[in-house]
Structure 1
């Protein structure tokens, strides 16, 4: 059996997405003749968390330890250099195909009871493409017998075709930033200056969490975007439950050019999250999953030019 699993392709018109069986994550999206989400080659560990599903918590748990209902839980330290648990428990499991059509696909996986995690949680994700871009819908359900806290995030790297990351301008729907040290919060959120949430990415090094993400339009959706000098852009929208976003600008991301050649390049991850880093300890914006009461959360990506 292939350790990397199958890669599924869905297409509708000029919209095309790829999804990995292992990890259940997004492995590329294009629309309007341009790449909108960075693709990556089939690998056991996608580079820099590319496209990953982050559940039952996004980001980090300090020291891998958290307490729930008076019981201390100890997670595996999957960020060993910093001594933290990173990005949940579903990044490297094989997901089950539950539905498939030409323009959509659905996969499911269960967070099993294990050291550090007390209740089983089923996560079902459907990816669909169409004229309005990519829509990602996640249903989460507590299969256990008592409530459990939950957080969800995703790790797409946004692109506007072949425009270099340093030529893009980033706009966030955030109102606050969260002080971090080695990815762990060191204090309460700080209100952003009005002009900080829209900024050129040239030379900007970020691995930062931003909060207070609220809808700006009547449609009730949170919107983040990257824009190119030629007027083209890629927008990530999310329902208000995704009140947080992590922005990460690594060097050395393996970008594939139009000629198929892969080069190490700057990239920008715009990661919608329902809660901030270390939320299992702080309790900030955690979702309480009650047995028998599934919850559905949606986000997506589309071209703006």
Structure 2
């Protein structure tokens, strides 16, 4: 009798003390992160596709590409329209691809996938992601290598849903390090004006805002470490009324963050995605904050989740 394989493929559990994470073979996504049985990211059943992009690795671009069209050195490229209702290509090329395990120990798993030359993507890339848990929480390390014979731009993002344990999302406070917001066309969810600096208005989340009544699907820029941060990390957080919750930290390369607040996350209803990104929506067309990899060059970046309180 054939083995039943869940929709997200094989599941890779990693454990250190009370910290536990589960990573999926399909998409190399984060499906579970908890400490001492307390959830610090939203989860879902292994036998269903990740709801609302939960835990996904978004490469070689995060967010959207308008009409799936961009150009490389003047050569037009046409990606598949994976968000057909808005006529966009969305969230990269590896969300539904099985990744290959390179290493799996008790506390670490490393997965690899290749982005081959294909319609809309003319340069092959090798990607890897390493998930590890320790006494500090979860650390995720990404690497992208150019296997082609010409330079290529790309972006990378991830789609976690941080969670303050068992607290209701509406009762939690969201804090971002971002200092600007990117205005968008609400029909296409694409930028329609330059970023606007935040100056203490209702979209300025640097001092925190309770999530009750907050509905966002918004890209924020200028995510940067505080001047006195000893580790030099970008820091966002979701906390309950007592200050208990989770911090999402990232390298400064993740200078953008998308916040999405769905009301229908399975098993939870209200949830919040805090998505670190290296570039904004439609960056393959605007060029804003794209990483350009020369032949044989490798880029790397880190982010993670740390319980608070």
The normalised TM-score by structure 1 is 0.95
Q: How far does the alpha carbon of each residue in 1:272-295 deviate from its partner, in whole angstroms, 9 at most, with x for none? A: 000000000000000001121211
How many residues in Structure 1 have an aligned counterpart in Structure 2? 297
Equivalent residue for 2:237? 225
Equivalent residue for 1:199? 209
CA contact (8 A) 1:32 1:303 kept: no
Greater mean deviation of Cα atoms: 189-198 or 114-123? 189-198
Does residue 127 (structure 1) correspond to residue 131 (structure 2)? The answer is: yes
CA contact (8 A) 1:165 1:268 kept: yes
Equivalent residue for 2:194? 188
CA contact (8 A) 1:96 1:109 kept: yes
Query: SS where residue 265 of structure 1 aligns?
Result: coil
Distance of 1:253 and 1:75 partners within structure 2: 28
Query: SS where residue 144 of structure 1 aligns?
Result: coil
Query: SS where residue 266 of structure 2 aligns?
Result: strand
Name stretches of at least 5 consecutive residues in structure 1 with no aligned partner: 256-263
Within the candidate set 210, 218, 231, 2:220 is matched to 210
Equivalent residue for 1:259? none
Equivalent residue for 1:273? 277
CA contact (8 A) 1:133 1:300 kept: yes
Within the candidate set 241, 257, 262, 1:245 is matched to 257
Equivalent residue for 2:113? 109
Name stretches of at least 5 consecutive residues in structure 2 with no aligned partner: none
Aligned-pair CA distance for 1:162: 1.1
Aligned-pair CA distance for 1:43: 3.7
Query: SS where residue 39 of structure 1 aligns?
Result: coil
Q: How far does the alpha carbon of each residue in 1:47-79 deviate from its partner, in whole angstroms, 9 at most, with x for none? A: 000000000000000010001100010000000
CA contact (8 A) 1:129 1:135 kept: yes
Where in structure 2 are the equivalents of 1:159-170 lying within 5 Å? 159-170=163-174
Within the candidate set 12, 15, 18, 2:16 is matched to 12
Equivalent residue for 2:79? 75
Superposed CA RMSD in Å reads 1.1
Query: SS where residue 284 of structure 2 aligns?
Result: helix
Distance of 1:139 and 1:54 partners within structure 2: 12
Equivalent residue for 2:96? 92
Query: SS where residue 280 of structure 1 aligns?
Result: helix
Distance of 2:36 and 2:289 partners within structure 1: 36
